[in-house]
Chain A
Amino acid sequence: MATLKEERYIGKNGTRLETVRGRISKLSPGYLYILPWVIGFLLFQLYPFVTSFIYSFTDFSILKPMSFVGLDNYKKMFTADRLYWTSLKATFKYVLIAVPGRLIFALFIAMILNMKLKCINFFRTVYYLPSILGGSVAISILWRFLFSRNGTVNVLLKALGIPPVDWLGNPNLALGTMGLLVIWQFGSSMVLFLAGLRNIPTELYEAARVDGAGSVKVFFKITLPMLSPIIFFNLIMQTINAFKEFNAPYLITQGGPLNSTYLYGMMLYENAFAFLKMGYASAQSWVLFAIIMLFTALAFKSSPYWTYYEDGGDF
């Protein structure tokens, strides 16, 4: 005898469409497959996300029991932290150097690698290499040596008769030197640009050439507009990454000299792990989150005015 529940799954012509058990067994492999991700997400993203929000209203200091302090952490950040604005300023400067620098450089290299040259695949691999190495600690340390007073860069300059420069010791140059490291790791943006370039229909170029357009005009009137969705994507991803930058200042300059590379990530880390102010650091990370959200929202809002989608651009 069919139970009530099962009856619902009996079709009009009397055939059994599906049993409950059958349906679950069909679904469960799906859940099973996504389970590692779900666990990872809950453990490493949602949990820290929620707890850090709670911590941001406390004086949590890792070892001592915490107590709630209301909005004190947020107030202190804007009014009583001597380095907060310095750090914020350095971070914005860094974003302004690193993001456009990296996008322009990545696009430039992608254009070169899009040419029909011999051994082009070899060169594409070679140019991608810095990105594989780039995030590593070793490269940041290598950067220190390259740009130190007796480093390779100064040796090359000396050969050209230029006096040595304190790339990382001069407060006016340190941030830019660090920016170079990020610009140098252009690989992932470059690959996306390359894919975008290869997707631009050649007939557009041919038509433009027939109409007598020069290379510069072709670049600005065809290449750039056709690449704009990819520029948009890269812009958002790179901006987020630049705001969160931690490795480079931590490993290369420790935030110095004169706090000129004391980026937001570095300040967060110091407050949390050097000064034991976890609650305060959590509040700072939420403000950073808000800043990143704001910039992302602005980019999305502005995108209809400068991105071009062949299909109208609905997402």
Chain B
Amino acid sequence: MKKRSRVILGFLLVLVFSMVFAGCSPASQPDSSSKPDTSKEVSGKEDVTQQTVTLRFSWWGADTRHQATLAAMELYSQRNPNVKIEGEYGAFSTFYQKLLTQLAGRTAPDIISVDYKWTHDLMKQGSPFVNMYTLTDKIDMNGFDLDFAKIYGGDDDYLIGLPAGVNGMGYLYNVEFLKEFGIEPNNEWDWETVIENGKKVQAADPSKHLMYNISEHWVYLLKTMLKQINGNTILNDDYSLGFSRDDIIQVFDYIRRLVETGTVPPFEEGVLYENVYADQNPNWLNQNFGIFPTSSSLIPGIAAASDFELDVFRYPVPKDAVDPGILVTPSMFITIYEHSKYQDVAADFIDFFFNDEEAIMILKDTRGVPANEKAKEMLVREGIVPKQVSDMVSQSLTGAGIAENGPSLNPEVIALIKDYIQQVGYLKLTPEQAADEFMKELEALAASLK
């Protein structure tokens, strides 16, 4: 009798363990090469015209983007009553971590938004997304500049997804604020103009600051300044340092001056809002800050929350810059998960999402100025792209810097940069000390990443 109950228990254990192992095994791939499998073709050959299909689509962003995307999904379902699309959307800050967990458990959505900052990382890991080049017969890609897409999204053989928009970096400013302090916004600013005007604001009202940077922007600032000084990304493709000690000292020293002159608020104050955009920063909304350096796709969300007139001007570029350095990137890649059961439907939805005129008019510029020429022309014709957004993109294109490479976008490298910017910003390290330690640590990190 004991034996039999043991058998029952044993059976249950085996059952449970087999369930566990089946469900939780890591998403291993037979091909261990670091290059993504270019043969990833659409494999969902199920006949979907009759059966009910539920697709999941994930993205991040502001409320305006959520509303527009949900409306477009609704329209697609109306036209294809057998297809239901569920949206999974949330904040950018935790999106990637959630995505990685989903990829690990093979529970990722069918259609996934992927930021340009993650594409190198994901492709290095084997990229579990369908190669877009295999979908040219299902998705009309004529309006897309695939050369631009592949800078951040792949190479000649593999493309992770289609870019939704073009994003340019620039200065978004409060018109009244700058007027009040007698500051002239124009496209000729360099880094010294920033500090001069920062001092002007402080002299007139010490409780106000010319600008504030979120932590991500501090990283852009450092990388852009380095590109302007020497024309390189922070790490070269072979993981060697793309700058000299003098270069980085110059940048750290500038960061210190931004703090010391009160151009930006002290780090003690600013750090609390270092991960939220201007639309959630009470100091911006209460008009205590005049400029928010941002990428163009965030403007609609910030404008909706700001109760004052906004305009844009070009990101600072020194006259003697080796490379103008301004970051121009795709705003997000729309990809298809390789384990999606309904890749055909997903491709059809993406075609609708980018090319259908009604969808274009619903989605408008919520993902930046559309990367699809056809959509962009339509929106410009209808006067839908706000002037600030199109201005920022065109201003950034006049000074587009060299593209970021994989090593420079590595999350650990970015975390290290953030750390040292804080050390300098909190005035804990002098620019020279910071430069020495930073270079030592970055070299060690780069060696471990190779």
Contacts and interface: CB of A to CB of B under 8 A. Distances in A.
A274 B415 contact: yes
A35 B272 contact: no
B84 to A, nearest CB: 28
A28 B12 CA distance: 12
Contacts of B282: 150
A20 B32 contact: no
Contact of B5 (A24, A148, A254): A24
Contacts of B12: 35, 38
Interface stretch (A103-111, A165-173, A185-193): A165-173
Nearest to A171: B426
Contact of B29 (A64, A144, A275, A276): A64
Interface in B373-426: 411-412, 415, 419, 422-423, 426
Interface string A18-51: 0010011001100100010011001100010001
Contacts, number: 110
Contact of B125 (A148, A257, A276): A276
A43 B16 contact: yes
Interface stretch (A55-63, A208-216, A223-231, A236-244): A55-63
Interface in B1-47: 1, 4-5, 8-9, 12-13, 16-17, 19-20, 24, 26-30, 32
A23 B121 CA distance: 59
B180 interface: no
A258 B282 CA distance: 23
Contact of A62 (B1, B104, B272): B104
Interface string B81-108: 0000000000000001100110110000
B273 to A, nearest CB: 8
Contacts of B8: 24, 28, 31
B179 interface: no
A275 B125 CA distance: 12
A20 B4 contact: yes
A120 interface: no
A219 B104 CA distance: 55
Contact of A276 (B100, B272, B423): B100
Contacts of A258: 422-423, 426, 428
Given A65-B28, A171-B426, A257-B267, A273 B100 contact: yes
A257 B411 contact: no
Contact of A63 (B97, B126, B271): B126
B423 to A, nearest CB: 7
A87 B270 CA distance: 23
| Overall SS of chain B's interface | helix
Contacts of B444: 80
A170 B267 CA distance: 9
A293 interface: no
Contacts of B269: 149, 166, 169
B241 interface: no
B168 interface: no
B30 to A, nearest CB: 8
A277 to B, nearest CB: 9
A51 B267 CA distance: 41
A9 to B, nearest CB: 9
A5 B13 CA distance: 27
B128 A63 contact: yes
A273 B97 contact: yes
A114 interface: no
Contact of B272 (A38, A66, A82, A148): A148
B275 interface: yes
A257 B100 contact: no
Interface in A283-301: none
Among B101, B266, B271, B282, chain A packs the most CB atoms within 10 A around the CB of B271
A62 B125 contact: yes
A52 to B, nearest CB: 12
B238 interface: no
A150 B422 CA distance: 22
Given A64-B29, A257-B267, A42 B16 contact: yes
Interface string A59-102: 01111111000000000000010100000000000000000000
Contacts of B122: 63
B268 interface: yes
A257 B426 contact: yes
B65 to A, nearest CB: 22
A65 B26 CA distance: 8
Given A20-B1, A65-B28, A149-B272, 15 more contacts: A23-B1, A42-B20, A47-B24, A62-B27, A62-B100, A62-B104, A63-B27, A63-B122, A63-B128, A80-B448, A256-B271, A256-B422, A257-B426, A258-B428, A274-B415
Kindly list the 10 A-B residue pairs having the minimum CB-CB distance in the complex, ordered from nearest. A169-B268, A63-B125, A166-B268, A273-B97, A62-B104, A20-B1, A65-B28, A169-B271, A257-B271, A47-B20
21 contacts: A24-B8, A42-B13, A47-B20, A60-B26, A62-B103, A62-B104, A62-B125, A63-B128, A65-B32, A66-B28, A169-B267, A169-B269, A169-B270, A169-B272, A256-B271, A257-B267, A257-B268, A273-B97, A274-B96, A275-B411, A278-B104
Interface of B: 1, 4-5, 8-9, 12-13, 16-17, 19-20, 24, 26-30, 32, 96-97, 100-101, 103-104, 121-122, 125-126, 128, 266-272, 274-275, 282-283, 411-412, 415, 419, 422-423, 426, 428, 441, 444, 448
